[in-house]
């Protein structure tokens, strides 16, 4: 038997084993975790930012999806991943263009999740994917391999190596088969989904089955980006979840309270995706810090701060409480929100005070200032990260904010550009 014959036989055997594993033995061979019930979508676009103590909020979610369809660039995506190194849960990359994938994002991301839209134009199903694979094969792959080898690739071996490189980079990629049901969203515009493309529950189920059996999409993603899908969405989820067995079924769009999160989970979603309300915490935290600066002459205790926050805002209406309420396993979202908001405001006030102690320091001096100071937030980070990571997280975030405050450029471990707060 020739080598190609053996390869083709092996391929046939392995795909039969995989189908048998899935359908006859009922084995869960889907690489996307079945334990995930809540995913936070972090969008590295300029206007969407992270709260100061993002490791605390993100400790409650199952995983983080990094990506967005507007104003996203490779460098911004890299910055988001660098910050999210300090999040206590895995972060994966959902690019909306292949150029957002860089060597650095590949190093940081748990895996690539590639969108394919089941009710858009052919560009959104296979066109962009083809361009993406071409980019990996012809640009990103060779430059990464050449950098590792230290010499340039050409000839037959070069060709095989770059093909191998593209396969290698995509081997742990998973596919998210989107059904986009809000035509008035960036995702719909990106995929050319219009009113005419909206699906009935039965049509959605049929496409979901095609995605599971033909495309072998690890995830089927019902997307209402920016608006809650209500009964229409729960009808679709119920219909799909009755038939789809192997792919994970995710719902995203407009979630900002527990009832809606429960509704879609009870209708059969394996996980909910929450985006906007998480980013809104950053604005809320910045507003509170601004008010606290006017209110207190010295740094109050954490308890005093919590009392003041309770008098200043209706906790149940805060973005912090609403975000946490979408995580159905968090027992008391309001209490948790109050404690995280107080931690964030205290961290900002402590850093304001630290900034006052120096006049035009260098980047090295800023690093030392941060290392010599123990901020209260370290103990909070210690509750969700292990000790060394908690110190590293507090130092990296503080250093970035101080460097930004002194206009020291971008020499810090992480950039403060995506943290929604500036020191006074
Ligand atoms: C092969 C590699 C490396 C990359 C592939 C790149 C591909 C195929 C990207 C897919 C682009 C695509 C079809 C986008 C459709 C729109 C979509 C589903 C976007 C995701 O939605 P969000 O960006 O989360 O939505 P919002 O911005 O509306 O919140
Ligand atoms: O931003 P929201 O409306 O929460 O939607 C989350 C996600 O489904 C967007 O792709």
pLDDT in tens, 118-138: 999 999 999 999 999 888 888
Q: What is the pLDDT of residues 335-363, one digit of tens each?
A: 999 999 999 999 999 999 999 998 889 98
Provide the mean pLDDT of the chain. 91
Would you say the CB of residue 41 lies under 6 angstroms from ligand 2?
Answer: yes
pTM above 0.80, yes or no: yes
Residue 23: partners with Cβ closer than 8 Å, 6 or more residues away: 245
Would you say the CB of residue 129 lies under 6 angstroms from ligand 1?
Answer: yes
275 falls in which pLDDT band (50, 70, 90)?
Answer: very high
- Tokens in use for 53? 């103590």
pLDDT given at position 34: 95
CA–CA separation, 30 and 248 (whole Å) = 8
- Whether residue 287 contacts residue 279, with contact meaning beta carbons closer than 8 Å, is answered with no
pLDDT given at position 57: 98
Q: What is the mean pLDDT of residues 207-232?
A: 97
For residue 400, pLDDT beyond 80 = yes
Give the ligand at the shortest distance from the Cα of 72.
1
Domain-wise residue ranges, the chain: 34-277, 280-405
Pocket test of ligand 1: the residue of 187, 222, 275 to mutate, having most ligand atoms within 8 Å of its CB, is 187
CA of 113 from ligand 2 middle (Å) equals 16
CATH architecture, domain defined by 34-277: Alpha-Beta Barrel (3.20)
Would you say the CB of residue 190 lies under 6 angstroms from ligand 1?
Answer: yes
Ligand 2 atom nearest to 276, measured from its CA: 1
Would you say the CB of residue 128 lies under 6 angstroms from ligand 1?
Answer: yes
For residue 254, pLDDT beyond 70 = yes
Q: What is the pLDDT of residues 311-340, one digit of tens each?
A: 999 999 999 999 999 999 999 999 999 999
Q: What percent of the chain has pLDDT over 70?
A: 91
To the nearest 10 degrees (0 to 180), the angle between helices 276-295 and 333-356 is 50
Would you say the CB of residue 361 lies under 6 angstroms from ligand 1?
Answer: no
**Half-sphere exposure of 358 toward its Cβ, with a 13 Å CA cutoff?**
19
CA of 227 from ligand 2 middle (Å) equals 8
């Amino acid at each position: 038997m020739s080598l190609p014959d053996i390869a083709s036989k092996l391929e046939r055997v392995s795909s039969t084993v995989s189908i048998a594993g899935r359908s006859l033995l009922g084995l869960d061979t889907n690489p996307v975790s079945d334990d995930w019930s809540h995913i936070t979508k972090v969008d590295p676009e300029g206007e969407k930012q992270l709260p100061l103590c993002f490791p605390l909020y993100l400790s409650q979610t199952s995983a983080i999806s990094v990506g967005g369809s507007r104003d996203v660039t490779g460098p911004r995506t890299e910055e988001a991943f660098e910050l999210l190194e300090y999040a206590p849960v895995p972060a994966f990359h959902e690019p909306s263009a292949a150029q957002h994938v860089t060597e650095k994002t590949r190093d940081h991301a748990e895996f690539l999740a590639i969108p394919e839209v089941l009710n858009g134009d052919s560009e959104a199903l296979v066109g962009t994917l083809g361009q993406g694979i071409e980019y990996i094969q012809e640009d990103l792959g060779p430059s990464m391999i050449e950098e590792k080898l230290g010499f340039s690739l050409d000839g037959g071996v070069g060709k095989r190596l770059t093909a191998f490189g593209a396969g290698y980079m995509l081997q742990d990629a998973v596919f998210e088969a989107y059904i986009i049901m809000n035509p008035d969203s960036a995702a719909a515009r990106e995929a050319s989904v219009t009113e005419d493309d909206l699906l009935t529950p039965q049509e959605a189920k049929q496409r979901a089955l095609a995605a599971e059996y033909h495309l072998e999409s690890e995830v089927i993603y019902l997307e209402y980006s920016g608006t809650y899908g209500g009964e229409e969405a729960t009808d679709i989820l119920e219909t799909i979840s009755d038939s789809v067995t192997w792919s994970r079924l995710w719902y995203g769009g407009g979630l900002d309270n527990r009832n809606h999160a429960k509704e879609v989970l009870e209708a059969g979603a394996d996980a909910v995706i929450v985006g906007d309300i998480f980013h809104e915490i950053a604005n809320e935290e910045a507003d509170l810090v601004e008010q606290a600066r006017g209110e207190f002459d010295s740094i109050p205790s954490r308890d005093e701060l919590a009392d003041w926050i309770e008098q200043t805002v209706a906790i149940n209406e805060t973005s912090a409480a609403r975000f946490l309420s979408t995580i159905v396993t968090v027992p008391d979202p309001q209490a948790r929100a109050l404690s995280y908001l107080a931690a964030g405001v205290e961290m900002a006030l402590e850093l304001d005070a630290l900034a006052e102690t120096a006049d035009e320091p260098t980047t090295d001096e800023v690093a030392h200032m941060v290392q010599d100071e123990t901020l209260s937030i370290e103990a909070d980070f210690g509750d969700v990260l292990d000790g060394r990571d908690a110190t590293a997280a507090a130092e990296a975030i503080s250093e970035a904010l101080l460097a930004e405050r002194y206009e020291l450029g971008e020499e810090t471990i992480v950039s403060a550009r995506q943290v929604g707060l500036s020191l006074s």
